[in-house]
Amino acid sequence: MCELSGISRAGFYRHWQVSAPRQADTALRDAVQQVALEKRFYGYRRVQQELRQRGHQVNAKRVLRLMREDNLLCLRTRRYVPPTTDSRHGWRVWPNLARGLITRNLNELWVADITYVRLQEEFVYVAVVLDAHSRRVIGWAVTRHLGASLALEALRMALAERRPAPGLIHHSDRGIQYACADYLTLLAEHGVQPSMSRVGNPYDNAKAESFMKTLKEEQVRGNSWRDLDALRADLTRFLQITYNHERLHSAIGYQTPAAFEQQLPRSSSTGLLQSYVGRGS
């Protein structure tokens, strides 16, 4: 081609070194901007993983540089713990069975929590149940009150979805919604072992706490719902589609929970093939 064009090979490569890398950088910058706009709460590491899934071979440092130059770095809000837990009750407090537990499959450990969402004229409450192994949301409920029926509705949805074998551990905080007789009876009917966090220690339920932070930052923040029905519709779309099937999760190798579960053996439960770290016999 150089001979037909009447130019030297050295001249061609000098031109290529000036133009081609610049074109490639422009194309990559365009791809980064598309991902950042579509996934506006992704940090540079998740953006890099998303780009790789779309066929771009790029390292994290380059993505960070481009996002910093284009002011695309995601924003984080300060952590706020809503007052949704009332542990001053007379119900039994169960020991923490989840501490140091390493899951090997689905339906070995579920985690549950409750948070609040502000509507235009009222506060409502959201209860969720997650499978700790895949981080998938398997049960949720939204109501105007903090009664036990809120947590029970989310638990019933999870049980109907998964139908776990006996031996599953259900971990939560010490809130009255999880310690009351109705909730514990439903757990016992399905052979589920209750587990509760230590007093004032949110790290014991870190997986559920982390999800609530994601929910607040990526769905609640910046949105305003007229009423409970509008929130319930948006929340259902976020949990069923965005979070479970589209959002990459760093704890499971930057996969979506649904994709991660598809790689696992098809089993409703493996019983309690557990491994405890730092726990005596």
The domain total for the chain is 2
- Among 48, 69, 90, the domain boundary falls at 69
- 273 pLDDT band (50/70/90 cuts)? very low
106 and 24, same domain (yes or no) = no
58 and 118, same domain (yes or no) = no
Residue 125 lies in a domain: yes
CA distance 193 to 168: 6
Q: What is the 3-state secondary structure (H, E, C) of 123-187?
A: EEEEEEEEECCCCEEEEEEEECCCCHHHHHHHHHHHHHHHCCCCCCEEEECCCHHHHCHHHHHHH
CA distance 158 to 142: 14
- Take residue 241 and report the two structure tokens written for it: 């589609």
Domain limits for position 133: 101-274
60 and 108, same domain (yes or no) = no
110 and 174, same domain (yes or no) = yes
How many beta carbons lie within 10 A of that of residue 257, not counting itself?
A: 24
Residue 60 lies in a domain: yes
Provide the mean pLDDT of the chain: 83
114 and 172, same domain (yes or no) = yes
Q: What is the pLDDT of residue 205?
A: 85
- 268 pLDDT band (50/70/90 cuts)? very low
Residue 153: which CATH number? 3.30.420.10
Q: What does pTM read for this prediction?
A: 0.70
**Per mean pLDDT, which range of 82-86, 243-247, 271-275 is the poorest?**
271-275
